[in-house]
Amino acid sequence: MRFTLGKTDGKARLGLLETPRGSIHTPAFMPVGTSGTVKAVSPDELRQLGAQIILANTYHLYIRPGHQTVRRLGGIHRFMNWPGPLLTDSGGFQVFSLAALREITPAGVRFRSHLDGSEHFLDAEKSVRIQCALGADIMMAFDECTPYPATRDYALYSLTLTTQWARRSRETFEKAGPPGSALWGIVQGGMYADLRERSAREVRDVGFEGYAVGGVSVGEPKEDMHAVIRLTAPLLPEEKPRYLMGIGDLKDILAAVEAGFDMFDCVMPTRNARNGTLFTSEGRVSIKRAQYGEDTRPLDPACTCYTCRNYSRGYLRHIFLAREILSMRLNTIHNLHFYLDFFRLMRESIERGEFAEFAERWKRTDW
């Protein structure tokens, strides 16, 4: 796996991440396939929409159907019929979200399944072994996602666990990692600048093929999120890919690319699609609103996706209110097309040296 940094425009970067299963042009957005599927679309449709890499969830696949089942069925790529690059998260964020059902110790995390209440234990070693069994191309070191708000003492404790677990994740990956795969480290530290700097230094010292920043978009004010984004990007190695985890708001993404981040993931385009909120070049559209009942226009006149080429706003409103399965599919196709095309246009603006103008224009859009 190799990352090559190409042209820069300010701090915005064009990069090429080459993996055995294909190349990824950055900045890049990863659609989220939590349980081995990006909801409402097929892998062929994802390719047609321009997805270069997708993300799957370690926790959910461990709970159901089980990582060993996925391994026996040929690994995650064959299991879900996705031939391209795939990243798995560590499970740390999902355990974080189960606050009422988990107990964190230096050894690892004991938690109860959200499905049936069964008890499980996850540590750095097991997280990496699960990801190896799944057969991911890019795996994430196990981390402790610092909540918001968090006291300084807790943020320091969380950081310490993340560093310890990063070392253990690395040691396990060195023994078990499949050929051609990579392990990336995660920076934590809450909203405390000196702790973020310390975490970045410690994770860099462990040594990874790529670096991520976690613990953002967990309830903090936007200004605090953006401060962490601006602080942490230059702390990460320039020659390695930089991944900002769980960020989907397009204005936040613009701020992150402006700071020097390369890769992003979020359920925002797919989840919003299923709930009837659609992204267009003119801003958000809530398709259930009565004003669209007899609207013959396409959802976004500037969009070339299958949905916009074939269906009216009136029809999309009708099938959404009727709770038709096709509504989820057409809305998801549009939102993913919009996000992936947004990233394509952003890469082109960096290539031309016009990223600042691109960002300013989109920041004025009503999201």
Q: Which residues are catalytic, by number?
A: 89, 265
SS (H, E, C) 76-144: HHHHHCCCCCEEECCCHHHHHHCHHHEEECCCCEEEECCCCCCEEEECHHHHHHHHHHHCCCEEECCCC
Both structure tokens of 115: 């499905």
**Amino acid (1-letter code) at residue 12:** A
Give the up-direction half-sphere exposure of residue 273: CA atoms within 13 A in the CB hemisphere.
Answer: 28
Give the Cα separation of 151 and 319 in Å (integer). Answer: 47
Asked if residue 89 lies in contact with residue 152, where contact means CB atoms within 8 angstroms, the answer is: no
Helices (H), the chain: 43-49, 58-63, 67-72, 76-80, 92-97, 124-134, 152-176, 193-206, 222-232, 250-259, 268-274, 306-310, 313-321, 325-352, 355-363
Buried-exposed string 249-271: b where 16+ CB fall within 10 A, e elsewhere: ebebbbbbbbbbbbbbbbbbbbe
